[in-house]
Each structure stands twice: as C-alpha cells, then as structure tokens.
Structure 1
Amino acid sequence: MNSPEDVLAQLRQLRAGDLPTHGGRTLAYVYDSGLSEVDSLGAAAHALASSANGLDPTAFPSLLRMENDLVAEASALLGDVTGVVGSVTSGGTESCLLAVLAARDAHPPAASPSIVLPTTAHAAFHKAAHLFGLRRIDVPVDPVTFRADPAAMAAAIDDSTVLVVASAPSYAHGVLDPVPEIAAAALERGVRMHVDACIGGWVLPYFARLGADVPPFDFRVPGVTSISVDLHKYAYCPKGTSVLLHASAELRRTHYFASAGWPGYTMLNTTIQSTRSGGPLAAAWAVVRHLGPDGYLTLASAAREATARIRSGIAELPGLRVLGDPVSTLIAFTGDDGFDLFTVADEMKARGWYVQPQFAFESSPVNLHLTVTAANHGSEKEFLTDLAASVDAARAAGPVTVDPAVAEFVAALDPATLTSEQFAGLLAAAGLASGTGLPDRMAPINALLATAPAPLRERLLLEFLGALYTPS
C-alpha cells in the first residue's frame, strides 16, 4: 500500500506537466479569478459535500437547498422574471443536451424532428442532435460579423422544428447573436427558443451594469424559453457546474426522467446523471455566496478592462486583425499571409502562454482564440509584447508546408472506411509513430489537419484520442 503522502507526491509530479490553471497564462479551458481564497473556499466546500449524493434530494436536503439557491441567483441575473425554474448540471454541454431533450419530448410526434442552429452554435448542440435523433438545420451566419442571420433563421423554421438556438455570445468569435429577432420568429411559430449563454450569462449582465452596451438576450426577451449559464466559467466556480433555466416548470418537465418499471427504487432524475456528487454543487454555492454581486462586479470590471486592452493591442500589431465585434471576454484574431498562425501559437507556448488555434470554417479563416479572465488584468502588456515577438518569429520561420506525398495520402483517406493501418501510417508520416504523445511544436500537425475536410479531421482526431486513451 502506498502512503497518502507518496500518492499525493506522485499526483503533484503528474500535474507538473499540465498547462497552468492559474496566473492568466492559459487562455482556454480555465477561468481564473486571480483570488486565492476562492480556490481554497471551493476546495473546502467540495470536501464537505463530496460524499453526499444528489440522486435523492429527500435524503440530502442540503443539496436541494443549495441547488435552489444557485438557480435563484442565476434567474435573478438573467431577467429576474417570475416563474423561472432550473436545474444544476455538470457543465454547459449537459445543460444544452437537456434543453434539446426537453424540447424534443414536449413536441408533438414528428417523423423527423429538427433543431435550427446558426453555424456558429456550440458543437454541444451537434452532440445533442446525434444522441437524441434530431436533424440539424445549420443556418449560415453573416460572413463578416459572424452573427446569426434572423431572416435566415426564421426561414429555416418549419413544422418539424422543436427548438431554435442563439448564442450569447458564440464561442468561436465572442459575438452576440440578435436574440430578440430570432426569439420573435420562434414565438410566432410556437417553437421553443434556447439562448446558449454558457460563456456570457454570468458576465454580460455585470458588463451592462458597468456601462457596456449589451443587447437584450435573457428572459425579458419575449420568446426566450430556456437559457444555459455555466458557473465554472465567469462565476469562477470549480468545475463542473452549469445551470439550465426554463421560463416555467411546464417547459422544464420534459427533461426529467422517471422509471418505476423495475424491482428497485423508483428512479427519478432531474439531469442526465443519476448519482451526482454534492461536491461541485457545494463548491459553486460557496463561491457564489462568498463573492456576491459586488465581488462579481469587480471581477467583471477587471476582465472587461483586460479584454479591451488586449483587443486594442492586437489591432495595433501589423498583420493581425480581430474577427467580428466581440462583446464579452472572447477574442478571435487572424493574420495576413506573411506568417503562419499555427507557428504563432507554438511561439506563444514557448514563451509561457497557451492560445487556442481554430481551423478555417466557411468565412472564418484560421485564427487564434483567447478566453480572457480577471486574472489577465495587469499582464496585458506582457502578453502583447510576447505576441508581437511570436509574430516576428513566425514571419522569420516562413510558411509551414505539408509534404505533398503526405497531403496526397490524406486526400485519399475515407473517414467512413479508415483502417487502423492507414491511421498508423498517417501517424508515422506526421511524426507521431508512437501515438501516445504530442510534439512540442504543433504547427506541422495543425497544418496537416487543416488540409483535411471536417469529417476526415473528426475521424483522425478521434482515432488519435483513442490512441491517447490506451494504457501503456
């Protein structure tokens, strides 16, 4: 048996190879308030409730109370409209899944139910359509602003539509869809309307209080029937907690599940999960109670200032431009043809920053994505200095080229029939023969993936993921 001290030492050693989750240098995946007491409070609250089980609220009434408190806080922030109810979930994807499920199961039987999405909607809705057997009606967005087109969205609604979706903001570009116009079209057709505010739901209302011009997107907009907002994003709670709000209990009911048709207890679920640790819920409850509206206003102010400074600095760097008109804390920027953006990402990582590459899609070119948090406040100048140096290094390095033979090999692959041997050959050609790790420089790999159509890229990355999740 290993001692607790030895096990924790091994864990610390394993964690040493991860991206940093604090300090504002990882501009994706993590949301850092910069307040050490928030982390310690969340960890302590998590430990106090981790053994409690959210499966049965009558057995653990503390969890019921905390969930209702968090739903009430989210509701007050997103319109403060009478009758709103909600559920705490494991994250934004589960919240979006449940919104789709509730809409599907409330709709009169249709031969082929569908959901109407702007092409910038989060891929969680693709997953929901896949899991629940719905057709996706993907509606192109404005090619310059990347905002959903209300007229095109309205035209896509038909008798099979069970849900219409808009983003506040969209992840890829950080822009806010025209929610009132889209919601009005959904309301006219008697169709549910979901606002994916997983990113912006806890920060945009505070931006508005700080004087920002934030167009309406919450329950005050007629026709909005559900909203998702993640607490582990700009509520700065430990992962993973999100809230799915519905405008009424009647709208929420159809994502609940019950089964009495077996000899055990009657299974009752408010979310996709059955057993749920009380840890994440208690941690979120504690952090939200601790920070309160004043604390969140301060954090929102810091994140807003940091975002504005970084955006302005990017616009001043030769060869870079911000995509769309981001209204929240997300920035996507692209570059001219004089350098490779994937190389810029590698250069930034070498300087201690992680920025997220995004592949080209429709009118959106290859770009780098930033998730700015309160922890970035004060380090904007350092970030921009390193970004300028990274662009210079990328210019000096020249374009990243893909071996023509490798590109030809990739072009010949069929994602539907890709064999293990073909995948192994591709890994070898890409310099990943072991299939168990990534090189320090990702630009050549990303350049190769960029040549692949989306279905093939999905299959290749799934195969690679499977190789990663194989014990050695």
Structure 2
Amino acid sequence: MTDVLAQLRALRAGDLPTHGGRTLAYVYDSGIDGLDELAASAHALASSANGLDPTAFPSLLRIENDLVAAAGRLLGGGVGAVTSGGTESCLLSVLAAREGRPDIAEPNLVLPSTAHAAFHKAAHLFRVRAKVVPVDPETFRADPEAMAAAIDDSTVLVVASAPSYAHGVLDPVEAIAAAAAARGVRMHVDACIGGWVLPYFRRLGRTVPEFGFGVEGVTSVSVDLHKYAYCPKGVSVLLHRDPDLRRGHYFASARWPGYTMLNTTIQSTRSGGPLAAAWAVLRTIGDEGYLRLAEHTLAAVGEIREGIEAIGGLRVLGDPGSTLIAFTGGEGFDMFTVADEMRERGWYVQPQFAFESSPVNLHLTITAANRGSEAEFLADLAASVAAARTAGPVTVDPDVAAFIAALDPETLTADEFSGLLTAAGLTGGGALPTRMAGINALLAEAAPALRERLLLEFLGGLYRPS
C-alpha cells in the first residue's frame, strides 16, 4: 500500500502545482491550511454512498439540499440539483429548456460568442442549434439588442455570462433577460465562476450588477462550488427559478425489468464523496470566511491588474469585473513566448488564441492564494516580457501558413493528420516540449475547425495504454 502511494506521488510530481497561487488556470486555492485534509476525510466518509437513490442514502439527500440552499441564498433562491461540474450544469440548462418546449421541432439557443464552449457541447449533444451573436468588439460584453434580434419562434434558451471565462467581463444580464422574457423564452446565466464570489464582492463595496433571480426573466443560474467556494472537484449547482422549469432534465424509465431508473442529472451512480467534501468545506469556511477570502481575492485582482497595465507593451482586454484577467501585448514580442518564460519562472498562465476582435492573449484566474505574491508575479511577468522582446516574434513560414489555411479538416486522412501533428511538434508519444510558443504560433494559423481536429487527434494519441 505504501509503495502504491509512493508511485502516485511520483506521478503527481510532474503536474502543475495546485496550491500556492502559481497555476493561474484550472485550480482554485483558498490558501487555508488543513482544508484539503478536512475535505479528504469527509470524502472518504461518504465515497461509498451512492446518490442514485436518496431513499437508500438519505444523508446525501440532506447534503445536496443543503448545498443547493447555500447557493440559493447567494443567488436569490430557486430549486436545484448538484452536478459534477459547470459543463454538466450548462448541459442540463439546455436540456431542460429543450424538453420544456416539445412543440418546437428544431429548437435553437441564442448565446454570445464569448459564452462557454459547454453550450456548444450541449447544442451538439442535444441537437439544438446554436445561434452565436458577436459581442461588442471593445468591451467583449454581449450586445442586448443583437441578442434580442436573434431570438425567434424556435428559441428555447438565451444565455449570458457572469462573468465570461475568456475576458472576465459581466454580460448585461438585466437587458438580455428582459428581451428573453418579452418573447417568453427561458434565460440562463452562466455564473459558474462568478456565482459564489461576486455576491461577496458586492458586500465589500464593489459595484456588481444583479445577475441572479433578483433579475426578472432569469430562469436558471449555474454556480460551481469547486471554484470560489474552494471545494474539491467536481461539484456544481444548477438552480432553477421553480420546480416546473427543472423537470425537463429529470429522467425516469420503468421500461425494463429492473428498478425504476430515476435521475436528476446526466449521471446515474454518483459518489457521495464530492458532495460530502463540499458540504464540509462550506460549513467550515462559513459566510464570514468567504467574505475574507473574497477580500483577499479582490485585493489581488486589483494589484495584479494595475501592475500589468504598468508594464510597457501590455494591455488588459475589456474591463474585467470579477476574478479573471486577460491581457495582450504590443508589437515586438510574442505572447506565447511570454507564457513560456513565465513557465520557466514557475508560473502557469493560460494562452488564448485570437477570436473575432480578441487578439492572442494570456488568461489569469486569480484566487485568494495569490494575495501576498502579487509583487513576485509582476516582477516575473516584466522579466518574461523583456525576455520575449529579446527573443523577438515567433514566425511561421508563409508557405506553411498558406498550406494550413487551405486545409479542409473534413477531407484529410489519418496519415495526413499524423504528418500535420508532426509538423506542429505534437508527437513523441504524447509528450509535449517544454516550450510551446512555436507550436501555438503554428496552431494559431489554423482555422478553429482545423485546430479542433488537430488537437482531438493529438488527444486521442495521449489516451492510449502504454
């Protein structure tokens, strides 16, 4: 048993750090000593319990109701369900909306181009057409008038973000909800990131527009507890304004000889471990604890944003209103190289490709754990920009760029894809090079559909037994 754990620790040594605030994407760190151990103990107590049947495991029913109630207190009420994460919550919001309008043969959902990719996944899985509306090219916020114009008689759901992931800006929820309500259409607010922290920002004096059920026309809201509630992954809550709206993502089947299958989410069997861990974390941190964590986060966001804007050549995109910052650079250096240089200095910042008016940029997810290390981060960022200037821009051979631009991902063969992956440096048994700037620059030349296919082929190569 000891040897197995030692092997696991050895495997984990190659991962990005999940504590200390040095990985500014994917992870959320409260910085509270002992919280991981508490969550692990709670998880172990309930990991063998199965949320499939609340009559068999009433403890999980109580825990889930407590988690939903806690989210409802922050977001204005509602009924809900606990899911495995933000993507499942978003999927279920689309499913419930589709099932709520069985009279519509070809339903669609209206979403801003900055909405999370989970909604495109939902559209794909549930055969709902996504009507994507461009956002304001300067603020990156959804355009309420354009959103309203996109709603038609087949629209079953309208989506807004609080905030959007890419730029950390809040969409004008009230205006969008009013447009949806005027057409009798449901409106979902993706507050997976902001839903737990923005209400506390408001209590700290930050101006935060209402985005929950206090807005007339909002019919559902999602919030992830494994983000700014600092619970272990994966726990999210999908709230609906009333039980009738929720019913569409419930599932029942008595059409077989076994037990009558009843599901509140996409999953059937659900370990009680994540629910118990989240319940323990929420009760331990408490309302005042979350207020203090929000205060630390807000201070870190302000200091880091101000520091970025003071570094020559860098520019923050939009006007971030939450905990996420995206910034780009000027001519003379490459942002992908900046990301590589930051990795060399022990920081992970997330590169984002250009899309519509949003240029290549670096994304930061700032948490309470970043408080106190802002000066170190900014000093390393300034040094990384200087190193990128010295290295110069990353260039792609014009002939290679033209070749990539002419490719059709629908007609390429497996061998041709293999050659492209090799050209992009995405080979070596799934191993990536330490520095990614050249690969990212090449991928940036590919249209989104081709980039998707290339990376899916690479992903398929990663998931092969050794």
CA distance in 2, matches of 1:47, 1:256: 28
Which stretch shows the higher mean deviation, 412-421 or 442-451? Answer: 412-421
Asked whether the 8 Å contact 1:174–1:331 carries over to 2, the reply is yes
SS in 2 for 1:164: strand
Partner of 2:455: 461
Partner in structure 2 of residue 207 of structure 1:
201
Q: CA deviation at 1:429?
A: 1.9
- CA distance in 2 between counterparts of 1:159 and 1:299 reads 44
CA contact (8 A) 1:406 1:429 kept: no
Q: What is the Cα deviation at residue 269 of structure 1?
A: 0.1
Partners of 1:427 and 1:435 within 8 A in 2: no
**1:404, 1:163 → 2: CA distance?**
43
Aligned residues: 466
Q: Give 1:407's match in structure 2, choosing from 388, 393, 401.
A: 401
Distance 2:222 2:261 in 1: 25
Letter in 2 for 1:344: V
State the distance in 2 between where 1:431 and 1:461 align: 12
Q: TM-score, normalised by structure 2?
A: 0.99
| Aligned equivalents of 1:92, 1:468: Cα separation in 2 | 24
Counterpart check, 1:15 vs 2:15: no
Once residues 183 and 435 of structure 1 are traced to their aligned partners in structure 2, the CA distance between those partners, rounded to angstroms, is 48
The one-letter amino acid paired with 1:29 is: Y
Secondary structure class of the residue paired with 1:224: coil
Task: State the match for 2:44 in structure 1.
Answer: 47
- Residue aligning to 1:115: 109
Cα distance between partner residues in 2 of 1:159 and 1:287: 44
Q: CA deviation at 1:404?
A: 3.8
| 1:193 and 2:190 are equivalent in the alignment | no
Deviations 1:174-194 (A, max 9, x none): 000000000011111110000
Scaled by the length of structure 1, the TM-score of the pair is 0.98
Matched, 1:360 2:354: yes
Do 1:307 and 1:329's aligned partners in 2 also have CA atoms closer than 8 Å? yes
Instruction: Please state if 1:385 is matched with 2:382.
Output: no
Deviations 1:40-64 (A, max 9, x none): 1111100000000000000000000
Could you tell me which of 317, 325, 332 is aligned with 1:323? Answer: 317
Q: Take 1:154 and 1:18, find their aligned partners in 2: how far apart are those partners?
A: 44
Q: Is 2:89–2:236's contact at 8 Å kept on the other side of the alignment?
A: yes
Deviations 1:272-292 (A, max 9, x none): 000000000000000001111
Report matched runs for 1:66-465 at 5 Å: 66-79=63-76, 81=77, 84-465=78-459
Letter in 2 for 1:465: L
Aligned partners of 2:424 and 2:443 also within 8 Å: no
Displacement of 1:38 in angstroms is: 1.4
CA distance in 2, matches of 1:423, 1:189: 46
**8 Å contact kept, 2:93–2:188:** yes
* SS at 1:333 equivalent: strand
Q: Deviations over 1:215-241 (max 9, x none)?
A: 110101000000000000000000000
Any idea what SS the aligned residue of 1:386 has? helix
Q: Unaligned regions of 5+ residues in structure 1, if any?
A: none
How many Å separate the matches in 2 of 1:282 and 1:424? 45
SS of 1:368 mapped into structure 2: strand
Q: Partner letter of residue 446 of structure 2?
A: A
Q: Aligned partners of 1:426 and 1:159: how far apart in 2?
A: 43
Structure 2 distance, partners of 1:15, 1:357, is 23
Query: Following TM superposition, by how much is the alpha carbon of 1:360 offset from its aligned partner in structure 2, in angstroms?
Result: 0.3
Using the TM superposition, give the Cα deviation of residue 435 of structure 1 relative to its aligned residue in structure 2, in angstroms: 4.3
CA shift for structure 1 position 402: 1.6
1:34 aligns with 2:31: yes
Q: Deviations over 1:1-53 (max 9, x none)?
A: xxx11110100000000000000000000000001221111111000000000
How many Å apart are 1:419 and its aligned residue?
1.7
1:435/1:464 contact within 8 Å kept: no
- SS of the residue corresponding to residue 36 of structure 1 reads coil
Deviation at 1:405, TM superposition (A): 4.4
Give the Cα separation in 2 of the matches to 1:57 and 1:351. Answer: 49
Note the C-alpha offset of 1:110: 1.6
Greater shift after overlay, 358-367 or 400-409?
A: 400-409
Q: Which residue of 1 aligns with 2:3?
A: 6
Aligned-pair CA distance for 1:410: 2.3
SS of equivalent residue, structure 2 residue 390: helix
RMSD: 0.9
Native 8 Å contact 1:306 1:372 kept in 2: yes
Q: Is the 8 A contact 1:32 1:373 kept in 2?
A: yes
Alpha-carbon distance, 1:470 to partner? 1.3
Q: Which amino acid aligns with 2:240?
A: H
Please tell me whether the aligned partners of residues 120 and 146 of structure 1 are also in contact (alpha carbons under 8 angstroms).
yes
Q: Tell me, yes or no, if the aligned pair for 2:426 and 2:458 is still in contact at 8 Å.
A: no
Percent of matched pairs sharing the same residue: 77
Moved more, 46-55 or 411-420: 411-420
| 3-state secondary structure, aligned to 1:415 | coil
Partners of 1:100 and 1:282 in 2: CA distance: 27
Contact 1:219 1:225 in 2 (8 A): yes
SS in structure 1 of the partner of residue 34 of structure 2: helix
Hey, what's the Cα distance between the residues in 2 that align with 1:147 and 1:359? 18
